[in-house]
C-alpha cells in the first residue's frame, strides 16, 4: 500500500508498505484523508526528534475496515476521526480525565508497518499518511457520515489542539481578550475556539499578510503583522487575558508573555527545537500571570471530537474552510512545499 515514509534523511512516497492485522483492542482504518500539520514537517527537518524509518501523518480520518477482539464502540464501515493519544485508560492520569498526560501515550512508538521486511515506526501513534493504519480503540472516534473525510481529518490535530487550547487549557471566558501569534492550522483553531468561548476581542498576528482574510473568517477581530511594539497596546491598552504562541519560536514566546494583562496567561502551543530556551522578565510576572504548556489541547478525544463534530453541524465550528487544497498522496512534496511557504490554511492528502 501507499504511504509517506521518512527514513531519517529523506522523505518519499512509497507503494510497498505493509501493515499487520489489528490485535486485541485495536482498529484498522482505511485512511480517506489526512491533514499536513507543521509537526510532520518538523520531524523531517529534525525539530521534532523521532526514530526512523517512520510513516508520517497524525491528523486523519477514514473508514473502519476491521476491529480486533474486544472492540465494540465502532464497526467496519463507521467513519472515524483519529486521535494521536494512545492512552491506556487504566492509570491515574486517565482516571482523572487527563488522557494527554497518560505515560503510556508518550514516547512509546509502535512499529505496525513493514517495508521489504524492515519494520517502520508509527508517528504519534497515528501515521495517517498511509492507506491503512492501526490505532487503539480509544483513538478511533466515530464521526457522522455527513462530514466530508477531508474536513473530519483536521479534527484529529489542528482542531483538537487549537480549539482545545482555548476551551480546555486557557478556559477562555465570555468577554475575555485574546491574542494569537501564528495563524496556521493551529492558530486558526485557537481563534475559532476563542470565538466559540465568547471572547470579546481576538487579535490575530501573522508575519504573512496573506493570512488576514482567513484569520478574520475564523473569528479574529483584528490582524497585525507582529505582536512587537505599540500596535497591540492600541487595540488592547491593558494587554491580553490570553496570548497563544502557535509558531514555535523563542522570540514569539517572549512576545506572548510581554503582551499579557494582569492575571493574563501565555499558552505555549508551538514546538521549537527540543533544546530551545526562552526568557522572560521575572518582575513582569508578579501580577498573577502564568505561562502554560499545552499538549494536544489538553483534550479528552472521545468527548471533544464528538463535541466538535456537533458544533460543525450547527455551523459554529469551521472545518471545510480550513481545507485550502487537497492533494493525492503522491503529491506529498507539493503539499509540503505549499505548507512550508504558508500558501494554505491546511493542505489535505487524499487516498
Ligand X SMILES: NC(=O)c1ccc[n+]([C@@H]2O[C@H](COP(=O)([O-])OP(=O)(O)OC[C@H]3O[C@@H](n4cnc5c(N)ncnc54)[C@H](O)[C@@H]3O)[C@@H](O)[C@H]2O)c1
Output 22 or 57, the one with its CB closest to Zn ion: 57
Dihedral angle over CA of 85, 88, 91, 94, nearest 10: 40
Could you tell me the three cell numbers for 332? 506529498
Strand order in the sheet with 3-6: 11-14, 3-6, 54-55, 118-122, 113-115, 17-19
Residues 32, 182, 219, 347: which binds ligand X (CB under 6 A)?
Answer: 182
Per CB under 6 A, does 101 bind ligand X? no
**Residue 102 binding target from Zn ion, ligand X, none, CB below 5 to 8 Å by type:** Zn ion
Footprint on residues 224-253 left by ligand X (CB under 6 A): 246-249, 252
Residue 182 interacts, among ligand X, Zn ion, none and using kind-specific CB cut-offs from 5 to 8 Å, with ligand X
For the CB of residue 111, give the shortest distance to ligand X in the complex, in Å.
Answer: 23
Reply yes or no: is the peptide bond before residue 254 cis, omega within 30 of 0: no
Is 37 one of the binding residues for ligand X (CB under 6 A)? Answer: yes
d(CA 128, CA 48): 17
> How, if at all, do strands 177-181 and 201-205 pair?
parallel
What is the DSSP code string of 20-33?
PPP-TTEEEEEEEE
- Within 10 Å of residue 318's Cβ, how many Cβ atoms? 22
Binding segment for ligand X (CB under 6 A), chosen from 72-80, 90-98, 183-191, 300-308, is 183-191
Of the pair 137, 199, the CB lying nearest Zn ion is at 137
Least CB distance to ligand X at residue 76 (A): 30
Closer to ligand X by Cβ: residue 39 or 125? 39
Q: How far is the CB of 78 from ligand X (least distance, A)?
A: 25
Of these partners, ligand X, Zn ion, none, which one is at the site of residue 94 (CB under 5 to 8 Å by kind)? Zn ion
Residues making contact with Zn ion (CB under 5 A) = 37, 39, 87-88, 91, 94, 102, 157
Q: Which three cell numbers stand for residue 270?
A: 508551538
Residues 281-300 that bind ligand X (CB under 6 A): 294-296
Site track 135-164 with ligand X (rule: CB under 6 A), x = hit = ----------------------x---x---
Q: Closest Cα to residue 32, out of 323, 342, 340?
A: 323
Three cell numbers, residue 96: 482523572
232 CB-contact burial (10 Å; exposed 0-12 / middle 13-18 / buried 19+): buried
DSSP conformation letters of 61-117 = EEEEEEE-TT--S--TT-EEEE-S----SSSHHHHTT-GGG-GGGSS-----EEETT
| 9-17, 144-152, 170-178, 268-276 -> range binding ligand X (CB under 6 A) | 268-276
Choices 146-154, 201-209, 232-240, 308-316 (CB under 6 A): range interacting with ligand X: 201-209
Nearer to ligand X, 106 or 287 (CB): 106
Provide the binding-site residues for ligand X, judged by CB under 6 A.
Answer: 37-39, 42, 157, 161, 181-187, 205-208, 211, 246-249, 252, 269-271, 294-296, 339, 342
Amino acid at each position: 500500500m501507499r504511504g509517506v515514509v521518512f527514513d531519517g534523511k529523506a522523505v518519499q512516497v512509497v507503494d510497498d508498505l505493509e501493515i499487520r492485522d489489528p490485535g486485541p483492542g485495536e482498529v484498522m482504518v482505511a485512511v480517506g484523508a489526512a491533514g499536513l500539520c507543521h509537526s510532520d514537517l518538523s520531524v523531517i527537518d529534525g525539530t521534532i526528534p523521532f526514530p526512523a524509518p517512520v510513516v508520517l501523518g497524525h491528523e486523519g480520518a477514514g473508514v473502519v475496515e476491521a476491529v480486533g477482539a474486544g472492540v465494540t464502540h465502532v464497526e467496519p464501515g463507521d467513519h472515524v476521526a483519529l486521535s494521536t493519544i494512545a492512552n491506556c485508560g487504566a492509570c491515574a492520569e486517565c482516571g482523572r480525565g487527563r488522557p494527554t498526560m497518560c505515560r503510556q501515550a508518550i514516547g512509546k512508538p509502535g512499529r505496525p508497518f513493514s517495508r521489504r521486511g524492515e519494520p517502520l515506526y508509527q508517528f504519534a501513534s497515528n501515521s495517517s499518511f498511509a492507506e491503512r493504519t492501526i490505532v487503539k480503540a480509544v483513538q478511533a472516534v466515530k464521526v457522522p457520515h455527513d462530514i466530508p473525510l477531508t474536513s473530519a481529518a483536521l479534527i484529529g490535530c489542528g482542531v483538537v489542539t487549537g480549539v482545545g487550547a482555548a476551551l480546555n487549557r486557557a478556559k477562555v471566558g465570555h468577554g475575555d481578550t485574546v491574542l494569537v501569534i501564528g495563524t496556521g492550522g493551529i492558530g486558526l483553531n485557537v481563534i475559532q475556539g476563542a470565538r466559540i468561548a465568547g471572547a470579546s476581542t481576538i487579535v490575530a498576528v501573522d508575519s504573512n499578510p496573506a493570512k488576514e482574510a482567513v484569520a478574520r473568517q475564523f473569528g479574529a477581530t483584528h490582524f497585525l503583522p507582529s505582536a512587537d511594539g505599540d500596535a497591540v497596546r492600541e487595540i488592547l491598552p491593558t494587554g491580553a487575558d490570553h496570548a497563544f504562541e502557535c509558531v514555535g519560536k523563542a522570540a514569539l514566546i517572549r512576545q506572548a508573555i510581554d503582551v499579557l494583562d494582569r492575571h493574563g496567561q501565555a499558552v505555549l502551543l508551538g514546538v521549537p527545537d527540543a533544546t530551545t530556551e526562552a526568557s522572560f522578565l521575572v518582575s513582569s510576572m508578579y501580577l498573577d500571570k502564568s505561562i502554560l504548556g499545552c499538549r494536544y489541547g489538553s483534550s479528552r478525544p472521545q468527548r471533544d471530537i464528538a463535541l466538535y463534530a456537533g458544533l460543525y453541524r450547527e455551523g459554529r465550528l469551521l472545518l471545510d474552510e480550513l481545507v485550502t487544497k487537497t492533494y493525492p498522496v503522491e503529491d506529498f512534496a507539493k503539499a509540503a512545499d505549499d505548507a512550508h511557504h504558508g500558501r494554505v490554511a491546511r493542505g489535505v492528502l487524499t487516498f
